[in-house]
Amino acid sequence: MKTPLPKVNEIEKKWYVVDATDKVLGRLATQIALRLRGKHRPDFTPHLDTGDFIIVINAEKVRLTGRKLDQKMYHKHSGYLGGLKSMTARQMLEKKPEEVIRLAVRRMLPKNKLARHQLKKLKVYRGSEHPHEAQTPEPLEISA
């Protein structure tokens, strides 16, 4: 007996909205990564995009435990000598809170073309408003 594979055009993709208010960053990111990949579905297939769309609102209200606000560093490099720029998590949350969540989720996905495609289904917004009302997203409650 062969294992049935879902067809790409028959995969139903739902839209979910997640409120990040007072959620711990790592626990939130693991649940989002799981939904983006589609591992919560019974028809999960590793080489197909079976995941859902996730909208994260209130990204600036996400919480980091311990002393991570001052000790966790985000680095980027321009490619030139001496081009390393570093920023603490506190500075990053003030300037670009959307990027904090996006980076946490991106680093939990596999490093391949499919994961880059799946990351495009993640929409992160600073405030409580988002422009995706036409897709009628369902609220998704993430514990902890």
Domain ranges of the chain: 14-63+97-139
Q: What integer pLDDT is reported at residue 32 of this predicted model? A: 98
Residue 37 pLDDT level (bands cut at 50, 70, 90): very high
- C-alpha 45/C-alpha 51 separation (Å) is 10
The chain-wide mean pLDDT, for the chain, equals: 95
pLDDT tens, 61-112?
999 999 999 999 999 999 999 999 999 999 999 999 999 999 999 999 999 9
For residues 109, 78, 89 and 51, what is the CA-based torsion angle, rounded to 10 degrees? -20
pLDDT tens, 86-95?
999 999 999 9
Beta strand pairing call for 53-57 and 138-139: unpaired
Q: What integer pLDDT is reported at residue 143 of this predicted model? A: 81
Largest CA distance in the chain: 59
**Contacts with 99 (C-beta within 8 Å, 6 or more apart), sequence order:** 92
CATH superfamily of 14-63+97-139: Ribosomal protein L13 (3.90.1180.10)
Q: What integer pLDDT is reported at residue 3 of this predicted model? A: 81
How wide is the angle at C-alpha 113 spanned by C-alphas 45 and 73, nearest 5°?
Answer: 110
Residue 31 pLDDT level (bands cut at 50, 70, 90): very high
- C-alpha 55/C-alpha 67 separation (Å) is 28
Residue 12 pLDDT level (bands cut at 50, 70, 90): very high
Residue 141 pLDDT level (bands cut at 50, 70, 90): very high
pTM of the model: 0.93
